[in-house]
């Protein structure tokens, strides 16, 4: 470790230069211009998820007018946008607000230790050494803001399939899509039924011999237009800022209403989604088997297919769906639990993510290690008993950035309040009741696999996550920052 020089110090360290981290940096630049900050990014470029994922057809699964930033309108023609366009939007935003100069690429945070005596975090950061290789250096800050997302970047989740070593074809995970993979004219099997699978299938079906989506159980799938008709009508007719506000408000209202409808009237929501799927599928298609899950809508995330592209591929016969289990891989494909053999030249394991909180950094306060699983979240952005730390975790039932925008805006309000009052430390306390609930209220495989690794939420505000944007606007934007459960020093 390089200890020859004193560690570099800034007021705020932002960890991550993806959609969340760049948004946080822009909020700091806009709202607290006198605050010093740096952005630490483990990879070599901005974009986060939208730079990492390069599989065919990678795109947003919510509209960019709300997935984009509140302070910078989305100007693309398509509301459900491709990954390259989102990557460019993030990079352009960083340049426009001058935060690209604050990014330290190839800086991976290993640990963060807080000292109440100095009111500072000390981070151990791995970065390239001047002469080659890597070195570990120290950096300090008064406030730490983690914008690392929620999953591991270095690997996705792939179950241990029996017989996979015998398969003569190629097995790939979409999180690390090989640049040299050519699926033209080949038989492709995509294992999975989530957002990645329903994106891959119609895009691979354009030139593959045939694509089969192999799912153990189905998901709820809904077709939405890739363009926003209100945005199209307003573009060039009203000022851009006004159009941005109107389109965001419309989309937030629709998303909130549809979610509340599904949760309050699940049978009606099931019937509506089934009817829409049946109308888009070929005659005689077994809708209930392949698109009629046992779970209710929003027990797991709904899968969006822009302009019904998945349904079009199924109607065209270039793709098919098989709902069955995997018995074993064979040299020529996959043998299903039903005994059927599914031939394949390429198998894509769209089987999910491995969750990782705070980018996996080790935390300690005054020398005592912090296990996030033992902590309770405060306002959906801080951890009980952990001073001067916030994290940006977006919504699971709406556009991710809606929540991240509110969190980073609230952090700026909090830092401004502390500066005005002369406070150096803010620490969330414990909730008044012992009741604990899972942080993420989804019955998804990646959430179940993360049990015991994530913090928990409490029973009531401010220790409860509402997954409700209008409520969070009130709580994070308008209520006093010195609310219940916070201790200042």
| Closest by CA position to 48, among listed 122, 128, 139, 152 | 152
pLDDT, tens digit only, all 489 positions of the chain:
554 578 999 999 999 999 999 999 999 999 999 999 999 999 999 999 999 999 999 999 999 999 999 999 999 999 999 999 999 999 999 999 999 999 999 999 999 999 999 999 999 999 999 989 999 999 999 999 999 998 999 889 999 999 999 999 999 999 999 999 999 999 999 999 999 999 999 999 999 999 999 999 999 999 999 999 999 999 999 999 999 999 999 999 999 999 999 999 999 999 999 999 999 999 999 999 999 999 999 999 999 999 999 999 999 999 999 999 999 999 999 999 999 999 999 999 999 998 899 999 999 999 999 999 999 999 999 999 999 999 999 998 999 999 999 999 999 999 999 999 999 999 999 998 888 888 887 767 767 777 778 999 999 999 998 889 999 999 999 999 998 999 999
Asked whether 202 and 310 are in contact (CB, 8 A), the reply is: yes
- The full set of domain ranges for the chain reads 8-153+354-488, 164-227+266-349
Predicted local distance difference test score (pLDDT) of residue 2: 54
**Rounded Cα distance, 24 and 63, in Å:** 20
Full-model pTM: 0.95
DSSP string, 6-17: PPEEEEEEEE--
Predicted local distance difference test score (pLDDT) of residue 1: 53
**Rounded Cα distance, 24 and 404, in Å:** 8
The number of residues in the chain equals: 489
Asked whether 400 and 356 are in contact (CB, 8 A), the reply is: no
The token pair at 414 is: 């909090």
Helix (H, G, I), strand (E, B) or coil at 347: strand
Q: Is 8-153+354-488's fold the same as 164-227+266-349's? A: yes
Helix 240-264 and helix 266-280, axial crossing angle in degrees, nearest 10: 110
Residue the block writes with tokens 């809508």: 297
| Closest by CA position to 20, among listed 96, 112, 74, 94 | 94
Topology of the domain comprising 8-153+354-488: FAD/NAD(P)-binding domain (3.50.50)
DSSP run (H or E) holding 256: helix 240-264
> Cβ contacts of residue 8 below 8 Å, gap of 6+?
38, 139, 140
The token pair at 86 is: 């989102």
Helix (H, G, I), strand (E, B) or coil at 253: helix
The token pair at 227 is: 């363009």
**Rounded Cα distance, 244 and 385, in Å:** 39
**Rounded Cα distance, 353 and 447, in Å:** 9
Predicted local distance difference test score (pLDDT) of residue 4: 53
Asked whether 449 and 157 are in contact (CB, 8 A), the reply is: yes
Asked whether 14 and 25 are in contact (CB, 8 A), the reply is: yes
CATH 3.50.50.60 matches 164-227+266-349: yes
Predicted local distance difference test score (pLDDT) of residue 456: 94
| Closest by CA position to 395, among listed 19, 24, 67 | 67
Q: Kind of pairing, strands 37-41 and 8-15? A: parallel
């Amino acid at each position: 470790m390089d200890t020859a020089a004193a560690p570099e110090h800034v007021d705020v360290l932002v960890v991550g230069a993806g959609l969340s981290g760049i948004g946080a940096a822009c909020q700091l630049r806009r709202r607290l211009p006198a605050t010093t900050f740096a952005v630490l990014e483990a990879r070599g470029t901005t974009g986060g998820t939208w730079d990492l994922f390069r599989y065919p057809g990678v795109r947003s699964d919510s509209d960019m007018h709300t997935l984009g930033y509140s302070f910078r309108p989305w100007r693309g023609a398509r509301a459900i946008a491709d990954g390259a366009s989102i990557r460019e939007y993030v990079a352009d935003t960083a340049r426009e607000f001058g935060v690209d100069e604050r990014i330290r690429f190839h800086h991976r945070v290993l640990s963060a230790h807080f000292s109440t005596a100095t009111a500072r975090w000390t981070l151990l950061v791995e970065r390239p050494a001047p002469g080659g290789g890597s070195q570990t250096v120290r950096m300090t800050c008064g406030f730490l803001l983690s914008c690392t997302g929620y999953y591991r970047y270095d690997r996705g989740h792939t179950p241990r399939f029996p017989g996979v070593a015998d398969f003569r074809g190629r097995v790939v995970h979409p999180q690390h899509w090989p640049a040299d993979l050519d699926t033209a004219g080949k038989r492709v099997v995509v294992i999975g039924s989530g957002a990645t699978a329903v994106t891959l299938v119609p895009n691979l079906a354009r030139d593959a011999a045939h694509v089969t989506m192999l799912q153990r159980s189905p998901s709820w799938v809904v077709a939405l237009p890739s363009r926003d008709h209100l945005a199209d009508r307003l573009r060039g007719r009203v000022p851009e800022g006004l159009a941005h506000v109107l389109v965001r408000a419309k989309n937030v209202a629709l998303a909130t209403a549809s979610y509340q409808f599904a949760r309050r009237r699940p049978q009606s929501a099931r019937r509506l989604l089934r009817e829409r799927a049946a109308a888009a599928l070929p005659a005689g298609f077994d809708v209930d088997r392949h698109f009629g899950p046992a779970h209710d809508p929003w027990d797991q995330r709904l899968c969006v297919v822009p302009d019904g592209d998945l349904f079009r591929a199924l109607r065209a016969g270039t793709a098919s769906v098989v709902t069955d289990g995997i018995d074993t891989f064979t040299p020529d494909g996959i043998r299903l639990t039903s005994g059927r053999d599914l031939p394949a030249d390429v198998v894509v394991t769209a089987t999910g993510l491995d969750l990782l909180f705070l980018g996996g950094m080790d935390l300690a306060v005054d020398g005592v290690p912090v296990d996030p699983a033992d902590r309770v979240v405060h306002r959906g952005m801080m951890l009980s008993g952990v001073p001067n730390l916030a994290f940006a975790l977006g919504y699971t039932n709406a556009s991710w950035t809606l929540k991240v925008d509110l969190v980073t805006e609230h952090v700026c309000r909090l830092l401004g309040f502390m500066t005005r009052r002369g406070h150096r430390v803010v620490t969330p306390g414990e909730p008044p009741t012992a009741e604990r609930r899972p942080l993420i209220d989804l019955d998804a495989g990646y959430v179940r696999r993360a049990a015991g690794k994530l913090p928990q939420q409490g029973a009531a505000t401010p220790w409860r996550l509402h997954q409700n944007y209008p409520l969070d606007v009130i709580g994070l934007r308008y209520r006093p920052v010195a609310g219940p459960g916070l201790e200042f020093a």
